[in-house]
Amino acid sequence: MAQYSRGRRRGWLQNVPGCGTILGMEQFWTSFNIVIPLVIMMATGMLIRRVGLVSEDAFRIINRIVFYIGIPTLVFHAVVTDTTTARWQYALWVAGSVLVAFVLSLLLGRALTKDPAKRGTLAQAAYRSNDGIFGLAVATALLGEGNTGTMAFTLVISATLFGVTGVLCYELNRGGKVKLGKVLLNTIKNPVLIGGVLALIVRFTGLQLPYVILKPIEYFKSMCTPLGFLVLGGVLSFKSLKEDWKLVTVISAVKLIAFPVAVCTIAYFVGGLRGPELASIFIVFSAPTAMSCLPMASELGGDVKLSGELIAVTTVLSLLTVFLYLTFFGGILTA
Our count of domains for the chain comes to 1
pLDDT digits (tens, 9 = 90+) for 70-96: 888 988 988 888 776 667 889 999 999
What gap in Å lies between CA 138 and CA 307, rounded to an integer?
Answer: 23
Is 237 contained in some domain?
A: no
pLDDT digits (tens, 9 = 90+) for 198-244: 988 998 888 889 999 999 999 998 888 899 999 989 888 787 678 88
Tell me phi and psi for residue 129, to 5 degrees: -105, 155
Is 197 contained in some domain?
A: yes
Is 201 contained in some domain?
A: yes
Residue-level pLDDT at 178: 67
Its domain, for residue 126, covers 25-232+250-334
Is 85 contained in some domain?
A: yes
pLDDT digits (tens, 9 = 90+) for 155-203: 889 988 998 898 889 888 876 566 777 677 777 888 888 888 898 899 8
pLDDT digits (tens, 9 = 90+) for 278-298: 999 999 999 999 988 988 888
Output the CA–CA distances (angstroms, integers) from residue 200 to 73, 92, 96, 154, 211, in the order listed: 13, 18, 22, 13, 19
Give the helix/strand (H/E) hosting 272: none
- CA-wise closest residue to 125 among 257, 289, 284, 246: 289
CB 142 within 8 A of CB 151: no
Q: What is the CATH number of the domain that holds 224?
A: 1.20.1530
> Quick check: 55 pLDDT over 60?
yes
Is 12 contained in some domain?
A: no
CB 125 within 8 A of CB 293: yes
Is 167 contained in some domain?
A: yes
